[in-house]
């Protein structure tokens, strides 16, 4: 269930990012995400402290920054439903592996790598 909620948050964030092409929208996105960029895998776990809404919120914001900074147009991928599910699975697997390898890794780096993995970049 937790992975599903994270997937929904990431999917929603990806949709927002594709619409956030105007400078004003991009600035707002960055302003909301920047406070989350200092988290490590361990600090996010501590911050969440059992609250299932925290992890998808933070991951979604960091994912949005990664996509924005890479100038990725998600809509241009034209993913089918099954391709979206596969990309989500690759994303979650990469985040899980990145955090398992080093819980003190900056989450922004782990998420950025997961975006690359998920989109086969």
| The predicted structure's pLDDT at residue 9 | 53
The pLDDT tens digits of the residues spanning 81-119 come to: 898 899 999 999 999 999 999 999 999 999 999 999 999
> Distance from CA of residue 14 to its chain's centroid?
8
Tokens representing 48 are 């969440």
d(CA 20, CA 5): 22
| The predicted structure's pLDDT at residue 20 | 44
**Beta carbons of 40 and 107 less than 8 angstroms apart:** yes
Question: Residue range 57-72: average pLDDT?
Answer: 89
- Domain of 68 in residue numbering reads as 2-118
* Other Cβ atoms within 10 Å of 13 Cβ, number: 25
Total number of domains in the chain:
1
| The predicted structure's pLDDT at residue 37 | 87
The label of the residue with tokens 């979604």 reads 60
The pLDDT tens digits of the residues spanning 33-47 come to: 888 889 999 999 998
The label of the residue with tokens 């609250």 reads 51
What is the rounded average pLDDT for all residues in the chain? 82
């Amino acid at each position: 269930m937790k992975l599903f909620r994270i997937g929904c948050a990431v999917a929603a964030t990806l949709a927002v990012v594709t619409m956030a092409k105007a400078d004003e929208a991009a600035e707002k996105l960055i302003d909301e995400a920047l406070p989350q960029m200092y988290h490590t895998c361990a600090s996010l776990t501590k911050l969440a402290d059992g609250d299932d809404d925290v992890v998808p919120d933070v991951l979604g914001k960091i994912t949005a920054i990664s996509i924005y900074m890479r100038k990725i147009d998600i809509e241009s991928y034209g993913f089918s439903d099954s391709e979206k599910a596969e990309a989500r699975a690759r994303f979650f697997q990469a985040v899980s592996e990145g955090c398992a390898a080093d819980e003190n890794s900056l989450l922004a780096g782990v998420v950025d790598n997961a975006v690359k993995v998920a989109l086969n970049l």
